[in-house]
Chains A and B, each alone.
Chain A
Amino acid sequence: MTSDLPYRLGCDIGGTFTDFVLLNRDSGKFTVHKTLTTPQDPSEAVESGVVALHSSQDGYLARTENVIHGTTLVINAVIERKGAATALIATEGFRDSLEMRREIRYDIYDIGAVFPKPLIERPNRREVPERLYADGRVRKPLDENAARQVLDDLAAKGIESVAVCLLHAYANPGHEQAVAAIAAEAHPNLAVSLSSDVIPEIKEYERTSTTAVNAYVKPLMARYIRRLQERLAGRGFERGLFMMLSGGGIIAPETARQFPVRMIESGPVGGALAAAQLGRMAGLKDVVMFDMGGTTAKSCLIRDGVMPIAAEYEVDRVHRFKKGSGTPLGVPTVDIIEIGAGGGSIAGIDELGLLQVGPRSAGADPGPICYGRSGTHPTVTDADLVLGYLDPAYFLGGEMALELAETESGISREIGGPLGFSVLQAAWGIHEVVNENMAAAIRMYVTEMGGNLADATVVAIGGAGPVHADSFARKLGVKRLIMPRGAGVYSALGFLVAPISFEVARTRIVLLEETDASQLADQFREIEESARTVIEDAAPGAAVAYDRIADICYLGQGSAVRVSMPDDLNPTEIAARFGEEYQARYGASYDDLKIQIMTMRVTATAERDSDAVALPFEANGDDAAVALKGERMAFAPDLREMIAHRVYAMERLPAGARIVGPAIVEEDSSTLVIGRGGHAEVDGRGWILVELGDPKQEADG
């Protein structure tokens, strides 16, 4: 089957590299390309990559249906404070909430702690006389003359962008809209972000900080998107350009221009989308995405193919891995945890005399000791090399030779000596501790979410993910893991399978016993209408599906649970669903308590054919022996000693082949370790599924 427009191009601008993945949907094949990011004008690197891809796929652009684009521009502008001259307009008496934050410390004992500087400095935080009650009624009407005066002052000062965040605007956007109308009339070039548009949800600090970020990056993103469109048009591409959002959907550039804060961190979402897609193809129910790269490991739990959405996300942390040290954002974001545990994470002895791994990383330069670039701190990759999991002669497909002898002496010096360990024990310690760190983080994450891992499968991607997945999965009590071909670059594929989708939320506080289905339906329809216009922009004429969700709690409780609504919106049925959800998470539910809806949400999704994306195995026959490269000694955790592992070449494996652990499967971008007791099967569609088994039984058999 061929089509006129078989190509989809995904493109992700990172801090260092801009990555491309070009999929030919007819052949199912994809091509990967990398180019250096051009910070002055990032669209330049996009254009040069688009051009470079012609060398392998001649004339593809004219036959490309969509370009899907993700970028770290938004988050970098915030971290590097490179956004627009931005001002805030707040309710009289409340301009400082942005600076006062939540008034809590993120580290109980650290009296030297610092907090991020507010994005909008105090002289640019202005106030207007107005006040709403909590239910949206007007206590004091907006003083329009005062508002005009404030806007005039700000414009005269050279302010380019304004965040408007008035108290209780989630309940009644009238005053904010009036400010916007005055701005549009008097200062049409001023970019305006209203909190009632960006995040109409209760809690003034969180709403202000989110709206402030949106305003701060809005002019920059508008310019960038325009240039990107021009460059692509210049190369002959004028069809569907989509922007990747942190919530896992893609959307038209116009929406991204309005709500750039929704794009805050689109990169990591790719891995989650790709893992979800792999899970669907392989017919798995729950998957744990486990993406371990050079500096961090990322993980999330995807149940029944549904992306987990975080209640809150934080940017601009003073300490990257310390919760609370950054700026909270209330935009829908795929709930991915990131911990400082990658191949480059440095191992050392801490003040308690314990072995510590990460979050400090050796980066690419000097990198791990084994890179031979004068790195002296032992890292996770160094440990993996000593343990035999990596082949010194075949790293990155043989592009880079690794220094074993130097690595062993470095690990002995820094870790083995102080702890009284052999080099092998020390290397195992590093491997084990980093795995435990990652497992502890995901256990905590699952507890917060109220899930359970009993039936989950680990999807191991990233350069180091498949090396550590066996031990990581065992620690979580997970019995199965799956590694796709191309695991090292697999997350880039996620962009190509992302749905056109957008979430709109509104705080609507109501007791379930005091509402009824028709009232709820009216409120949901109003939200659906806002969501529909956004989807229309991205996919004109497409059928739109609405997913209605409400955040619900027992009256007086602090954190709400996301509950999917029944079609008929019958309150009794809603209460029952909430009870089930609550019970599943927390082990009990209560009939005697009142139930309250806090926030209503609608996710609108355009129906769109979603491809199966994987690299099929091409070899015939079902005997793994054709791919056998040889044997090497590698560490068996249960025996605590080096034993022979069979080594296979991933690309030569035939579909249907079976591999019994201990074994190692190598490809250019990653290495899969199958422990004793493991039984793997090669699926011709493009992945290896490993049943972990029990090493002890293996010893008998």
Chain B
Amino acid sequence: MTAAARQFDPITFQVLWSRAVSIADEMATTLVKTAFSTVVRDNHDYAVAVYDAEGDLVAQANQSTPGQLFCMQRVMRDILEEYPARSLSPGDILIANDPWLGSGHTPDIFIATPTFRGEELVGFGVTCAHHTDIGGRMAAPDAREVYEEGIILPVAKLYDKGEPNDFIFRLIERNVRVPDRILGDLRAQMAANHFGGQRILQLLEETELERLSDLTTPIVAQTEKSMREAIAKLPDGVHESSLELEREDENGNRLVIRLRLEVRGDEIFADYTGTSPQVELPINSVLNMTTAYTVFTVKCALHPHIPNNKGTSLPIHVSAPEGSILNPTFPAACMFRSSLIFNVVQIIFDALSNVVPEKVMAPSGTFPLWIERFGGKFDDGTPYVSGFNGQGGQGARYDKDGVTTTVFPANVSSTSVELLEIEAPLLCDRKELLTDSGGPGRQRGGIAQEVVLRNLAQKPAVASLSGGRFHIAAPGMDGGGTGSHGAIRVGDDDPLPQPKQVLMPRETTITFTYPGGGGYGSPYERDPSRVLEDVRLGFVSIEQARDAYGVILNADGRSIDEATTASRRSDAAD
């Protein structure tokens, strides 16, 4: 029963849109500034948005991680289905972290604060933040069911007409390892939402805007139109690909993702039929996440610079069989869904490389995402939970080398070694770039790194180790070579076959060898002077220059043996 949307002249519309986006950006700033979790403040693992009274997204903050960004598009509608808008009052605050409702794993807690003008609901300020701990087996990489992954809060009122729901606070306090931080972050989320609410009221008071929903419709329409125009430039056609993953199901079979991507007119249909059934590992990706990364990847390739809202995803139709790893049913474990879902990026770029080779990227060593967690006690008995992030190399681009040690497709910063050593009784022995890690190619894959961490405390640390490309390295694209493999070693042991939680006794080291990015184009097409430069910088060894690039250096190691190089490269061409 909505009245006809108000029409604005284009300039007024644009100014109002810009103000709505700036409300979301300012909320995000408030969240980051007041957050306790390093995951929020350094990893930007959060999302923030402003919704209208019907639960449709008006605008969201730009700087956040893609999975949550896209999941925000529908979360408020889903929450309102469980908790109808008419049952809300001023002073209410809603909370939820059900993975099937939101962004697919338990640490992401949504807080939604309805905003009222007098008694009239005018919109919502909503934040989602990845919390340091949510209980359970502390992010166990071998969890079989979601029950092991901490508490799940269905949609509930955290505040009822301004009164805190003590039961929920106590429930959280009793179930997590570092309650101060978790409660601190919940407060940060509420502060950001409150700020957003005030700004929404201000916007309605100061401008000619009467209802946020008057903005939602034209924003979505304009974005959708632009996205459709970008898709329409592609030739119609069907592109089928499949991708074997190194993770295995309970029976020891490698998991497979299959994609049938069809471009039809100004729409894209991405169908994952044929993808493996869900597994008893914490890597299943709920359909929300699968959709999020599908849309994200298409946007990266076709239309990176438009804002993200429902209009971006309307022309992209995603389907995945229920009960598969890309659309699992309860109680599938899903803590590390990122280690699976990022592969969707690879398979979509692969499909699109047939039609827009210049707009895609070779597979990266940066996915699956490597996020390590350590928990234990300082020698004085103080408990700690700390994270460590590092990155491999990105895949090469059509016309550029891959970026060195930089995250993709998530967006999280690395952990400062000095801060880590203050937050936890750990010591970093070294953190350095790895020679020969980038996949050879006309454009070289990004360089990866190796990191060694050591436990200094008397008490063993519990280390939740996640990473990947242990067995299948990032392949190259269009004749490019593969990047180097990843590996995690505890002490001098053999590399772990799979991600795992281990005990790390005093003075034990763990070595993280991050994977390199795939190359793009034949390495024999790389200008020999660029290969020489890589040798000089220590990114490529003399041996790899010879074997992979066909570039032979003179005995001084500083100049090219032109004749031998030319003949070796032409022999290879024959």
Asked if B444 is at the interface of the complex by the 8 Å CB criterion, the answer is no
Of chain A, the residue at the smallest CB distance from B188 is: A586
Q: A275 to chain B: closest CB distance in Å?
A: 24
Asked if B264 is at the interface of the complex by the 8 Å CB criterion, the answer is no
| Chain B residue contacts of A104, Cβ below 8 A | 44, 406-407, 411-414
Asked if B574 is at the interface of the complex by the 8 Å CB criterion, the answer is no
Contact present for B418 and A204 (CB under 8 Å) = yes
Of chain B, the residue at the smallest CB distance from A420 is: B10
Contact present for A353 and B404 (CB under 8 Å) = no
Whether A354 touches B191, Cβ cut-off 8 Å, given contacts A112-B397, A123-B538, A444-B25, is: no
Contact present for A556 and B414 (CB under 8 Å) = no
Which of A103, A353, A437 gathers the greatest number of chain B CB atoms within 10 Å?
A103
Tally of A-B Cβ pairs under 8 angstroms: 197
Of chain A, the residue at the smallest CB distance from B398 is: A112
| Chain A residue contacts of B429, Cβ below 8 A | 93
The answer, among B226, B412, B449, for a CB contact under 8 Å with A351, is B226
Contact present for A205 and B299 (CB under 8 Å) = no
Contact present for B403 and A167 (CB under 8 Å) = no
The answer, among A110, A204, A429, A585, for a CB contact under 8 Å with B11, is A429
Secondary structure of the A contact surface, majority rule: loop
| Chain A residue contacts of B389, Cβ below 8 A | 103
Contact present for A92 and B430 (CB under 8 Å) = yes
Q: B517 to chain A: closest CB distance in Å?
A: 12
The answer, among B32, B187, B408, for a CB contact under 8 Å with A105, is B408
Contact present for A559 and B33 (CB under 8 Å) = yes
Asked if B419 is at the interface of the complex by the 8 Å CB criterion, the answer is yes
Asked if B30 is at the interface of the complex by the 8 Å CB criterion, the answer is yes
Give the interface size class of chain A: 35 or more
Contact present for B432 and A95 (CB under 8 Å) = yes
A590 to B429, CA, bound (A): 37
Asked if B431 is at the interface of the complex by the 8 Å CB criterion, the answer is yes
Q: B285 to chain A: closest CB distance in Å?
A: 19
| Chain B residue contacts of A114, Cβ below 8 A | 400, 403
Whether A202 touches B418, Cβ cut-off 8 Å, given contacts A123-B536, A352-B226, A447-B29, is: yes
Stretch at the interface among B34-42, B107-115, B134-142, B462-470: B34-42
The answer, among B25, B33, B184, B405, for a CB contact under 8 Å with A100, is B405
Contact present for B187 and A590 (CB under 8 Å) = yes
Contact present for A587 and B194 (CB under 8 Å) = yes
| Chain A residue contacts of B567, Cβ below 8 A | none
Contact present for B15 and A432 (CB under 8 Å) = yes
| Chain B residue contacts of A111, Cβ below 8 A | 300-301, 304, 359-361, 397, 408
> How would residues 2 to 39 of chain B score, 1 for a CB under 8 Å from any chain A CB and 0 otherwise?
00000001110011001100100110011011111010
> How would residues 114 to 129 of chain A score, 1 for a CB under 8 Å from any chain B CB and 0 otherwise?
1100000111000000
Whether A122 touches B537, Cβ cut-off 8 Å, given contacts A112-B397, A134-B418, A203-B416, is: yes
Whether A559 touches B537, Cβ cut-off 8 Å, given contacts A103-B414, A202-B418, is: no
The answer, among A168, A205, A355, for a CB contact under 8 Å with B421, is A168
Q: B568 to chain A: closest CB distance in Å?
A: 26
A101 to B407, CA, bound (A): 11
Q: B572 to chain A: closest CB distance in Å?
A: 29
Contact present for B414 and A102 (CB under 8 Å) = yes
Asked if B273 is at the interface of the complex by the 8 Å CB criterion, the answer is no
**Beyond known contacts A96-B433, A97-B417, A436-B14: 12 more, CB 8 A cutoff:** A93-B428, A105-B411, A109-B299, A114-B403, A202-B416, A202-B418, A428-B11, A444-B26, A555-B180, A556-B36, A556-B181, A585-B33
Residue numbers of B with Cβ under 8 A of A are 9-11, 14-15, 18-19, 22, 25-26, 29-30, 32-36, 38, 41-42, 44, 62-63, 66, 69, 180-181, 184, 187, 191, 194-195, 206, 222-223, 225-226, 296, 299-301, 303-307, 359-361, 389-391, 397, 399-400, 403-408, 411-414, 416-419, 421-422, 427-433, 449, 452, 536-539
The 7 closest A-B pairs by CB, nearest first: A93-B430, A558-B41, A109-B304, A103-B414, A104-B413, A134-B421, A447-B26
Q: List 10 A-B contacts (CB under 8 A).
A: A93-B428, A100-B414, A100-B433, A108-B62, A110-B300, A112-B399, A134-B421, A202-B418, A436-B14, A450-B33
